[in-house]
Amino acid sequence: MVSLSRTISLGLLVLTAVGLLSGSVWAEQKSQPVQSAAAAEKTDPAPAPMPPKSLAPDEAGPYEPTCQSPKDQGEKGLCEAIRANDIAAENLHWVRIGTGAVLLSLILTGLAAWAAAVAAKAATISVKHAEADAAEQATRFTDQLAVAQESALAAKNGAAAAGRSADLARAAMVLTQGARMTFADVGKDCTFNADGTLAGLTVRIVWQNTGNTPAENVQHYAWIGVGEDIPASFGERDQPGDPSVVGTAVRLYSGTLDVRQDEIADIVSGKLKLFLWGWVEYDDVFDETPRHRTEYCAVMRAPTGPHRAPDFYNVGPFNGSDGGCSRPPQTPKRKKAAIQ
């Protein structure tokens, strides 16, 4: 503000000096004709003075020379003096007008400078306010952006949690409502000798759907083997039958397996072991679920008395379901037809 005041004062002084100088030059130019007339008067030889003319009493009054056609040299000089006085008065009048114009110009210039200073100050204040508003808006936008980012992250986490909840709910539904084929029993048909010892034996595996929905595309296999231990090729050449559907709480029976009569005595005595092996594979009713498998393996325990059927108990690692099985599913999952 100090530099602005100094600039305005210097500008006013310069304008004042320019106005006064212009007025002086103009006045000097206007006075040049008078100087020429005076110079001309000095160069002309002065005529001899004329004796004053006496006036009659009725002609007395102020004297008014006839400047259009002076009568003599005195009247001519008087007219030149009057004319010079008029020019000086006119010059003085125009000098006063020029001085007034300069003063008015200085006043207007000062007002313009003041207005410019006020406008500059207002512009500075406006710029400061605009900067403050911009900074406030930027801060508000940053806060809103942070809130929006937090909201988006919360929504993303919520969506992920909802997805996990949906997956868990679906997994729980499949687990609790899906089909589940489990081992139920070993069916036994026995014949006995006269003394009550075991003479003939036919066995089969009984499966049951203990789940809450039907088992689809069900395939199963059963096999018996006689030896001192479980053979290494156990279950490698299994040939399942045609697929079927097993409803809830419905039992599924394997084919009958006959034990050779010439091996029964050694099995009962313990020289040999009778192994029973089987598995069942199936799909549940839910889409995008893996194929299921259940395995069963047992060895026969000799009868505990006459006319009594033998028992079977689990043996080996060949008992389990799905991930607990010794092998993954060997039969393919059936693709479901699209709903038209």
Our CA dihedral for 23, 25, 27, 29, rounded to 10 degrees, sits at: -150
Residue of higher predicted confidence among 248 and 1: 248
pLDDT at 281: 95
Q: Is residue 73 within 8 Å of residue 119, measured between CB atoms?
A: no
3-state SS class at 237: coil
**Segment 119-132 mean pLDDT:** 90
Q: Closest Cα partner for 216 from 153, 272, 282?
A: 282
Among 44-53, 184-193, 222-231, 318-327, the minimum mean pLDDT is found in 44-53
Mean pLDDT of 55-67: 61
Judge whether residue 217 has pLDDT over 80.
yes
Q: How confident is the model at residue 90, as a pLDDT?
A: 86
Task: Name residue 39's amino acid.
Answer: A
Q: Work out the burial of residue 134: count CB atoms within 10 Å of its CB; fewer than 13 is exposed, 13-18 middle, 19 or more buried.
A: exposed
What is the distance between the alpha carbons of residues 85 and 4, in angstroms, rounded to a whole number? 47
Q: What is the mean pLDDT of residues 57-64?
A: 59
Is the predicted pLDDT of residue 132 greater than 80, yes or no? Answer: yes
How far apart are alpha carbons 308 and 21 in whole angstroms? 149
- CATH (residue range 180-324): 2.60.40
pLDDT of 201 strictly over 90? yes
DSSP 47-83: PPPPPPPP--GGG-S-----SSS-SSHHHHHHHHHHH
As a whole number, mean pLDDT of residues 99-124 equals 87
> What percent of the chain lies above the pLDDT cut of 90?
47
pLDDT of residue 43: 44
**What's the whole-model pTM score?**
0.56
pLDDT in tens, 263-289: 999 999 999 999 999 999 999 999 889
SS3 state at 177 = helix
